Amino acid sequence: MDTRWMTLSETVKIELYQSMEEGRDVKSFEEDVEQILENFKIGQLREEDARILIDRIKNSPIKVDYSYFEPVALLEIKKLKPKKEKTTLNKFDKNSYYNKIYGAWLGRCAGCLLGQPVEGWMSNRILGMLKETGNYPIHNYLSSAVDKTIRQKYSIVDEGHVYGSNFINWINNVSYMPEDDDTNYTILYLKILETYGRDFTSENVAHSWLMDVPIYHVCTAERVAYMNLVNRILPPLSGSYYNAYREWIGAQIRADLFGYINPGDTEMAAEFAWRDARISHVKNGIYGEMFCAAMIARGAVSDDIIDIIKQGLGEIPEKSRLTEGIEKVLNWFKQGLSWEKALEKIHLLYDEGNNHHWCHTISNAMICTIALLWGEKDLEKTIGIAVCAGFDTDCNAATTGSIIGIINGASNLPEKWIAPLNNKVKSGIDGFGLTEISELAERTMKIVK
């Protein structure tokens, strides 16, 4: 859980990275940014100076050789989607779909629980701990009940505040799926669809955030957007107004329910995701949620991973940085690389020690794609690869677990990954608390298209 205050002085360097990736010529501002940060480190908060500098950075001209086209308006996004052939979907049997929905909820929870204890760890620390505990490749949940020397070497502790818990969520410390933002959002959007129906608006979602979610239960881009909403800065401006995190992973982890309730309809799933993502994100931050929602919707009717990924890409702009990243992964797979080599390539492209890279939509969407392609529709292998990558471990394992869960259905998921959940998930969303996962699946079924 992120408890930073997110002052402008803290975020100015993230804005520098973000604007640079959006094609702006911002190199001349680097020294000014470092000076703001140095003052912040010694307790001097130069908020007005930071605001002026952020405005100058954001208003810098776009480089003439910038080759991406990344709109935020839905109609413009649709115009820039790649042309794709219409495909014949498998017959949809609503009577058997509950098994898939339940599997998706379980897969999301299992992936999140696997990755949660090592969220924020660098990959070398994760891999070292896994290998020294005999859990590489991953074949069991992560436990803190290991040899004392290993605990000391990898700074493994049990105490630590995670939402409402005072313990780190190693498997030996839990008896259900503990609270996490990766599951909170899925539950929140179930509540939103139950309340407003399928015609819900971005404003409905914004209202629900303020009514149903405590501010410290949201992070980075969502927290900035939350503060903007409190100050009556409404969507879509809430997603970009002094929001340096506007292309981070936060929207991507909110996609799942929109896929669950639109089986086979990737366009509708992506549109629902767009209505949500624009509250807190722009450009690739929005596309990440659309991409994942569309993949999940496709996974409800297809078990072909490459088809699922391409159908996801079919709902976002063809000349976007996200599409370019996912296409790179598809090419690595075609070249016959191992998943370990593919993850090495991620680490060459992105610096996990840089918060902007660590939590960006694109780096993590690429990791999800690797996990799906090399995971071979196996829950254990898929979520295991997602965690071995480092970066945002619980988010990526949750997203890929959800997709594998909806492909295979609850009845085909391995017992050792499902039993520890005890069919329960705890939530910070108002009105839920500790809820049976099967009940969430049943309620989801009632709003399926």
254 located within any domain? yes
Mean pLDDT within 328-339: 98
- Single-letter residue type at 78: K
Residues 52 and 82 in one domain: no
Secondary structure of residue 331 in the 3-state scheme: helix
Asked if residue 310 and residue 240 are part of one domain, the reply reads: yes
In this model, does residue 1 exceed pLDDT 70? Answer: no
Statement: residue 89 has pLDDT above 70: no
Please give the Cα distance from 385 to 343 (Å, whole number): 9
pLDDT tens digits, residue range 364-406?
Answer: 999 999 999 999 999 999 999 999 999 999 999 999 999 999 9
Tokens of 292: 């994942």
Per-residue pLDDT band at 6 (split at 50, 70, 90): confident
Please check the confidence at residue 3 and state whether its pLDDT lies above 80.
Answer: no
Q: Quick one: pLDDT band at residue 95, thresholds 50, 70, 90?
A: confident
Number of compact structural domains in the chain: 2
Distances (CA, A) of 169 to 139, 141, 180, 244, 402: 17, 10, 10, 30, 20
Same domain, 16 and 112: no
Q: Does 68 map to a domain?
A: no
75: exposed, middle or buried (Cβ count in 10 Å: 0-12, 13-18, 19+): exposed
Model pLDDT, residue 328 = 98
Q: Would 251 be classed as within a structural domain?
A: yes
* CATH code, domain with 201: 1.10.4080.10
Type and span of the H or E element at 161: strand 159-162
212 vs 190: CA distance, rounded Å: 12
With respect to residue 140, please indicate whether it lies within any of the assigned structural domains: no
Domain holding 265, by residue range, is 74-117+177-445
- 335 CB-contact burial (10 Å; exposed 0-12 / middle 13-18 / buried 19+): exposed
Domain identity same for 53 and 194 = no
Write out pLDDT tens, residues 112-144: 999 999 999 999 999 999 999 999 999 999 999
Annotation-wise, does 394 bind a ligand? yes
Q: 115-133 burial string, b = 16+ CB within 10 Å, else e?
A: bbbbbebebebbbbbbeeb
255 and 384 together in one domain: yes
Domain membership flag for residue 273: yes
Q: How far is residue 347 CA from its own chain's centroid?
A: 18
Q: How far apart are the first and last CA of the chain?
A: 34
Per-residue confidence (pLDDT) for residue 92, from 0 to 100: 66
Query: Annotation-wise, does 212 bind a ligand?
Result: no
pLDDT for position 86: 63
User: How far is the C-alpha of 329 from the C-alpha of 342, rounded, in Å?
Assistant: 8
Distance CA 438, CA 357 (A): 36
- Residue 167 β-bridge partners: 159
The answer to whether residue 15 is domain-embedded is yes
Residues 39 and 83 in one domain: no
Q: Residue 376, Cβ neighbours under 10 Å: how many?
A: 10
pLDDT of 44: 73
Residues 6+ apart with CB under 8 A from 443: 190, 194
Residues 144-157: tens digit of each pLDDT: 999 999 999 999 99
Per-residue confidence band for 2, with pLDDT thresholds at 50, 70 and 90: low
* Range scoring the smallest mean pLDDT among 48-52, 74-78, 83-87: 83-87
H-only helix segments in 214-360: 220-230, 256-260, 266-277, 283-299, 305-313, 321-334, 339-349, 355-358
Pair (186, 247) in one structural domain: yes
Contact 176, 425 (CB under 8 A): yes
**Residues 110 and 47 both lie in one domain:** no
Residue 16 lies in a domain: yes
Tokens at 309, concatenated: 């990924």
pLDDT higher than 70, residue 307: yes
412 plus 346 within the same structural domain: yes
Residue 316 included in any domain = yes
Same domain for 52 and 79, yes or no, is no
- Tell whether 47 and 81 lie within a shared domain: no
